[in-house]
Amino acid sequence: MESEPTSSQAGTPYERTCTIRGDGGRAIRAVLDRVADKWTLLVVATLASGRMRFTELHRHVPGVSQRMLSLTLRNLERDGLATRTAYAEVPPRVEYDLTPMGRSLIAPALTLASWAIENNTDIEMSRAAYDARTP
Amino acid sequence: MESEPTSSQAGTPYERTCTIRGDGGRAIRAVLDRVADKWTLLVVATLASGRMRFTELHRHVPGVSQRMLSLTLRNLERDGLATRTAYAEVPPRVEYDLTPMGRSLIAPALTLASWAIENNTDIEMSRAAYDARTP
DNA sequence: CAGCATCCTGAAAGATACTG
DNA sequence: CAGTATCTTTCAGGATGCTG
């Protein structure tokens, strides 16, 4: 990782004003590296309604491939955000569920999602306008 | 042996329980496509303390290349999250600032960042444990 | 100073096929 | 059912050099 030359600019007190990157952005990096891929938040959001098995998940998360779902779930399990329970039955049954930590991610994600919903139109329009005046 | 009949899905009323993906994930997709790249949130966070010019920004966002900073800023401007003001001087001076909409993104981002800070250690440990038992 | 133009790479993700 | 195994594509992002 990178050492922090935060002292480069002693005169700027903005680190105190905005804790979002008080550590040089390491926190943001961490959370983004964790959840900013294409499927993680979607899977977490789907699991938010309760435990679910693989195929169910596959149906409920539109567009995800088996491969990506599999990878995403494994990472969630690895990070301690979801549990995987395999039942020794035939046919096999595997159920996924959020851990308390996984569930604690829902609220922050929801905040962001709400922001997205509220501002989506404005952003869309801003883009269109920008593209229109920029050939 | 049938275990308990996982009462998870009765039809699918979970869309009401969890607005995070009530639209099939389009909102999440939208916001992630917007801010989940490597630099956007960091730049927004940096601009949160006030308007800044290019080189200043370049110094304050550790690790960013000129190219990526330039691209990030252009996208922020395009999305209506930041403004770009060029002064007709020599040498040139260009200042960037957040728009109200851009500023409104800070709080949600902060929520997520806080979650990251709070849970980072647990996740790290979970990972280590997972990797240890998975050769 | 504030950038754009190029070239290049690795990692993420999609498509498809196969299995315990 | 619940996944792997491969192969291929894509493209974000880094490195470098040049300019108004």
Please give the Cα distance from B113 to B119 (Å, whole number). Answer: 10
Can you give the pLDDT at residue B113? 85
Angle at B19 between CA B14 and CA B24, to 5 degrees: 75
What six digits make up the tokens of A77?
Answer: 């399990």
Q: Inform me whether the pLDDT recorded for A46 exceeds 70.
A: yes
Highest mean pLDDT: which of A9-13, A36-40, B6-10, B97-101?
B97-101
pLDDT digits (tens, 9 = 90+) for A56-103: 999 999 999 999 999 999 999 999 999 999 999 999 999 999 999 999
Scanning every residue of chain B, which has its alpha carbon at the shortest distance from the alpha carbon of A34?
A: B116
Give the number of beta-carbon pairs within 8 Å between A and B: 192
Contact A27, B113 (CB under 8 A): yes
Can you give the pLDDT at residue B2? 37
Please tell me if residue A77 touches chain B, with a CB cutoff of 8 Å. Answer: yes
Kindly report the pTM of this predicted structure. 0.85
Can you give the pLDDT at residue A18? 59
Scanning every residue of chain B, which has its alpha carbon at the shortest distance from the alpha carbon of A125?
A: B79
The one-character DSSP state at A85 is: E
- Residue A44: half-sphere exposure toward Cβ, Cα within 13 Å: 30
**Ranges in chain B, pLDDT < 70:** 1-18
Q: Inform me whether the pLDDT recorded for A13 exceeds 80.
A: no
**Looking at beta carbons, which residues of chain B come within 8 Å of A95?**
6
Taken as a whole, chain A contains a residue count of: 135
Can you give the pLDDT at residue A134? 84
- Residue A130: half-sphere exposure toward Cβ, Cα within 13 Å: 17
Can you give the pLDDT at residue B7? 36
Please give the Cα distance from B70 to B55 (Å, whole number). Answer: 11
Residue A29: pLDDT band by 50, 70, 90 thresholds?
Answer: confident
Shortest distance between the Cα of A113 and any Cα of chain B, in A, equals: 6
Q: Write the CB contacts of A33 (distance below 8 Å, at least 6 apart in sequence).
A: none
Can you give the pLDDT at residue B17? 54
Can you give the pLDDT at residue A17? 52
Run of H or E residues at A104: helix A100-104
Q: Which of B23, B32, B74 is most worth mutating to test chain A (most A CB atoms within 10 A of its CB)?
A: B32
Nearest by CB to residue B49, choosing from A17, A29, A60, is A17
Can you give the pLDDT at residue B61? 94
- Residue A80: half-sphere exposure toward Cβ, Cα within 13 Å: 16
